[in-house]
Amino acid sequence: MEIEVAAKALKELGHPVRLMIFKLLVKAGYEGIPVGEIQEALGIPNSTLSHHIAKLISVDLVRQNRSGRTLFCIPEYKKLNQLVAFLNEECCINENL
């Protein structure tokens, strides 16, 4: 993972509301959660939620899928795993410093 890509993803996860959304999605699993359930769980206005979800989508941490009239948010585990691997590689290079 390139450092610029990692920095952008970490920047978006650095906002408390976005981190709460992403945490909720990751716990939900591969099927994701309907947007309405996220809104209900976090108690935030729809427009605010849409803004934060758009930020997570912009860095490929979340995708959306429509099923009938329901819009699901789905975590991108591959991107999450790449980000964690990037951090792990970078943090453990000079353990003796």
Percentage, residues of the chain above pLDDT 90: 86
What are the residues whose beta carbons fall under 8 Å from the beta carbon of 24, sequence distance 6 or more?
33, 38, 41, 42
Residue of 20, 6, 32, 16 whose CA lies nearest to 88:
6
Spell out the domain ranges in the chain: 3-91
Q: What is the pLDDT of residues 4-43, one digit of tens each?
A: 999 999 999 999 999 999 999 999 999 999 999 999 999 9
Task: Tell me the pTM.
Answer: 0.88
As a whole number of Å, the CA-based R_g of the chain is 15
Domain 3-91 has CATH 1.10.10.10: yes
The owner of tokens 């699993």 is 29
8 A C-beta contact, residue 59 and residue 71: no
* 3-state class (DSSP) for residue 57: helix
Measured distance CA(64)–CA(72) in Å, rounded = 5
